[in-house]
Amino acid sequence: MGKLNVTILRYLTGEDFRVLTAIEMGMKNHELVPASLAAQIANLRYGGVQKLLKELCRHRLLSYERGKNYDGYRLTNTGYDYLALKVLARRGTVTSFGNQIGVGKESNIYIVANDEGESICLKLHRLGRTCFRNIKSKRDYHQHRKSASWLYLSRIAATREYAYMKALYDRGFPVPKPIDFNRHCVVMELVEGGPLCGVYKVGNVGLLYDELMNLIVKLGNHGVIHSDFNEFNIMITNSGKPILIDFPQMISTEHVEAAAYFERDVKCVRDFFKRRFGYESELYPTFHDISREDYIDVETKASGITKQIKDFLKEMDMVEVEDEETEDECSENANEEDRSTDENEINVQLQVENSVRSEFMCTSKETLVNAKVNEKKD
Ligand code: ADP
Ligand code: MG
């Protein structure tokens, strides 16, 4: 499953990619992109574009569908993969493909190699593909956004993942080295080892337990909570060292539900150690043990990556301004660019993210769509 036939990449011409990109852009506000619109966006002749579109459908990079009012094209998962891979290949970050090593509900993980032949890890995010089935009728006017939502959500997930991984790596946290990202793809160091869920014997159980608990607290001291800290997202290297992965759902310690998420992370580790190793300790951290010394959530904003997300949202016209209060705070925020250390900005940022979450409430990556926040909003 999920096989990527990368040889196609070599055969696709510049014009092919231009047409693919035109469909991607058209999908921002059209569920199906008619050939005429694609031609217009790509700035190519209609006749030529039709031929290219047909060919792209044959390679399953696009699909042609009949809509209620008109027929048109949409990007497939594979088509989106190729757009991202083309960029990563051009930069030399990903030049050849190996095996798929992981399949999550929301991602596919591959071993790939860079132009120096080193093995690295490629994560393709796949969010929100089926989530609109139970959407509320009051959101019907967002219908045209359905088609773009999976592109957009997967892209947000990858951007967040890269931003957090970089912030953590720069501070010496045990995480894979982030290498590059584009659209829904993140390229990172390949961890030589396996997830903790596959580990049945540990040299020193108490030591590993302490390391993991200290890691949770250290994250908290830097202003963040992993929120999915469990045996599937902790890799154990061949030399027994834990490496933390999987970051799109990370939240700030300023989040309204921060304490609950923190304590759930702690509980996951305790439960696992009890179940797997029969190990129980009276010592475990609570949210009050955090002493903030740093604000990673702020820094990821300052680095411009969050600005990129915001610009993207604006571009997609996806941020719903729900009431005047939010609108005021957003515009105020826009006027004062360098308030990035102000806690208000954290709140504004969370509001923006939360309004996005409620817009896409049925996505499964838990804290990208924070169920509790949504309940309150609705
Ligand atoms: P998901 O968001 O789908 O849970 P993860 O980031 O947790 O994706 O990755 C899924 C699996 O892929 C992991 O359990 C692990 O086995 C493998 N994996 C992920 N990142 C790496 C990496 N950098 N090196 C090696 N294996 C990885
Ligand atoms: Mg995971």
Phi, psi of 45 (to 5 degrees): -70, 140
Question: 174 in ligand 1 pocket by Cβ < 6 Å?
Answer: no
Q: Residue 27: which of 256, 239, 183, 198 has the closest Cα?
A: 183
CB burial string 232-268: b at 16+ within 10 A, e below: bbbbbeeeeebbbbbbbbbbbbbbebbeebbbebbeb
For residues 94 and 32, the answer to whether their CB atoms sit within 8 Å is no
How many A from CA of 341 to the centre of ligand 2? Answer: 30
pLDDT (0 to 100) of residue 360: 35
How many angstroms separate the CA atoms of 1 and 254, rounded? 40
How many angstroms separate the CA atoms of 25 and 4, rounded? 23
pLDDT (0 to 100) of residue 102: 79
| pLDDT tens series, the chain, 378 aa | 345 666 777 788 899 999 999 999 999 888 899 999 999 999 999 999 999 999 999 999 999 999 888 899 999 999 999 999 999 999 999 998 888 897 777 899 999 999 999 999 999 999 875 444 333 333 444 444 555 678 888 998 999 999 999 999 999 999 999 999 999 999 999 999 999 999 999 999 999 999 999 999 999 999 999 999 999 999 999 999 999 999 999 999 988 999 999 999 999 999 999 999 999 999 999 999 999 888 886 555 544 445 555 555 555 544 433 333 333 333 333 333 332 333 323 333 333 344 343 333 333 444 343 333 333 333
How many angstroms separate the CA atoms of 87 and 236, rounded? 31
Q: Which atom, in ligand 1's list, is nearest to the CA of 102?
A: 12
Q: Which DSSP string do the residues of 79-102 spell out, in sequence order?
A: HHHHHHHHHHHHTTS--EEEEEEE
Q: Which atom, in ligand 1's list, is nearest to the CA of 235?
A: 15
Longest dimension (CA), the chain: 72
How many angstroms separate the CA atoms of 322 and 135, rounded? 18
- Checking DSSP bridges between strand 107-113 and strand 96-103, what pairing results, if any? antiparallel
Q: Residue 165: which of 233, 43, 89, 248 has the closest Cα?
A: 248
Question: 180 in ligand 1 pocket by Cβ < 6 Å?
Answer: no
The pTM of this model reads 0.78
Residue 230 neighbours by CB under 8 Å, 6+ apart:
265, 268, 269, 272
How many A from CA of 243 to the centre of ligand 2? Answer: 12
Mark residue 183 as left, alpha or beta (left: phi above 0; alpha: psi -120 to 50; beta: remaining). left
Say which amino acid occupies 66: R
Residue found under tokens 């993980």? 109
How many angstroms separate the CA atoms of 119 and 266, rounded? 33
- Of all protein residues, the one whose alpha carbon is nearest to atom 12 of ligand 1 is 102
Question: 233 in ligand 1 pocket by Cβ < 6 Å?
Answer: yes
